[in-house]
Chains A and B, each alone.
Chain A
Amino acid sequence: MQNIYQNPVAFAQQNALERRVKVGVRGWQNATKQDLISFVSRKTRIAIMDSTVEGNQVVGFVSSQSDAQSLTNWNGVRFAGNALKFEILGDGSTPSGSGTSKTIMLLKAFLYKRYRPETKMLDLGNLRNDPDLATNGLFSSQSTQSKIFPAMMKLASNESQLVVESINLSDNQLRDLNMISTLAQTYPDLKNLCLANNQIARFRVLEVWKNKFKSLRELLMMNNPITTDPLYRTEMLRLFPKLVILDNVLLRDENKLQQIYTVPMKLQQFFFETNELGQSSIDFVSNFLTLWDTDRTQLMALYTPQSQFSVAIDSSVPTSSVPNSDQNPTFGYYLPLSRNLTKVSSERTKQQRLAMGQESIDKIFKSLPKTKHSLQEQPTSYSVEAFSYPQVQGFIITLHGFFEETAAPEIDANKSTPNPAGGRNRRFNHGHNNAANKLGKKSFDRTWVLVPSQGSVIIASDLFTIRPFADGSWTPPLSSQQPTQPNAHPASPAAPQPQAQPHVQPLMQGIQGPTLATPSLVMPPEIQSKLNPLQMELLNKLHQQTKLNAEYTYMLAEQSGWNFDVAMKGFQESVNNIPREAFV
Chain B
Amino acid sequence: MRPNSQPEESHQRSQKVRLAARMNNQSQVLETFVKKIFTFLDEKDSQQLAPFLQCFDAANSKVIVNANPFAQAALFLETWQRGVVQTQHVLTGMDYHVIPGTGSTVCSVNGKVRFDESGKDKAGQDSVIPDPSAGNPVPISGSLNSSTPAAKHRPLWGPYFGTSLQLVLDDRVLNGDQNCVISSFNYTMVYKPDDSLMAL
Contacts and interface: CB of A to CB of B under 8 A. Distances in A.
Contact of A473 (B69, B128, B131, B192): B192
Given A266-B66, A312-B94, A347 B128 contact: no
Interface stretch (B46-54, B98-106, B172-180): B98-106
A306 to B, nearest CB: 6
B195 A321 contact: yes
Nearest to B140: A234
Given A271-B67, A445-B110, A470-B162, A260 B119 contact: yes
Contacts of B120: 260
Interface in A306-328: 306, 308, 310, 312-314, 316, 318-319, 321-323, 325
Contacts of B85: 260-261
Contacts of B91: 342
Nearest to B84: A263
Interface in B116-149: 117, 119-121, 125-129, 131, 134, 138, 140, 143-145
B193 A319 contact: yes
A391 B94 contact: no
A342 B20 contact: no
A465 interface: yes
Contact of A340 (B20, B23, B94, B145): B94
B96 A341 contact: yes
Contact of A387 (B23, B24, B62, B97): B62
Contact of B93 (A242, A262, A467, A568): A467
A477 B69 CA distance: 25
B1 interface: no
A322 B160 CA distance: 9
Contacts of B195: 211, 214, 321
B14 interface: no
Contact of A465 (B65, B131, B164): B164
B66 to A, nearest CB: 4
Q: Is the interface of A mostly helix, strand, loop or mixed?
A: mixed
Contacts of A318: 112, 160, 162, 191, 193
B93 A340 contact: yes
A273 interface: yes
A575 B192 CA distance: 37
A266 to B, nearest CB: 7
B83 interface: yes
Interface string B49-77: 00000000000101011111101000000
Contacts of B192: 322, 473
A74 B117 CA distance: 30
Q: How large is the interface on A (under 10, 10 to 19, 20 to 34, 35 or more residues)?
A: 35 or more
Nearest to B68: A265
A271 B129 CA distance: 39
Interface residues of B, number: 77
Contacts of A473: 161-162, 189-192, 200
B93 A313 contact: yes
B58 to A, nearest CB: 11
Contacts of A54: none
A391 B99 contact: yes
Interface in B163-200: 164, 166, 168, 183-184, 186, 188-200
A312 B108 contact: yes
Interface stretch (A202-210, A392-400, A490-498): A392-400
Nearest to A312: B95
A266 B19 CA distance: 41
B200 A253 contact: no
Given A257-B119, A265-B66, A350-B24, A322 B127 contact: no
Interface in A85-106: none
A267 B127 contact: no
A391 to B, nearest CB: 4
Interface string A253-288: 111110111111111111101000000000000000
Contacts of B20: 347-348, 351
Contacts of B30: 341
Contact of A241 (B69, B117, B164, B186): B117
Contacts of B194: 321-323, 477
Interface string A330-361: 00000000011111000110110010000000
Given A259-B83, A271-B69, A443-B191, A310 B162 contact: no
B192 to A, nearest CB: 4
B191 A321 contact: no
A45 B161 CA distance: 37
Given A319-B193, A350-B24, A541-B71, A383 B188 contact: yes
12 contacts: A234-B145, A237-B144, A253-B127, A261-B198, A267-B188, A271-B68, A314-B110, A350-B27, A351-B19, A385-B67, A391-B168, A461-B106
Interchain residue pairs A-B with the least CB separation, the first 8: A314-B93, A268-B67, A264-B83, A347-B24, A256-B127, A271-B67, A257-B127, A321-B193
Interface of B: 16, 19-21, 23-24, 27, 30-31, 60, 62, 64-69, 71, 79, 83-85, 91-97, 99-100, 102-104, 106, 108, 110, 112, 117, 119-121, 125-129, 131, 134, 138, 140, 143-145, 159-162, 164, 166, 168, 183-184, 186, 188-200
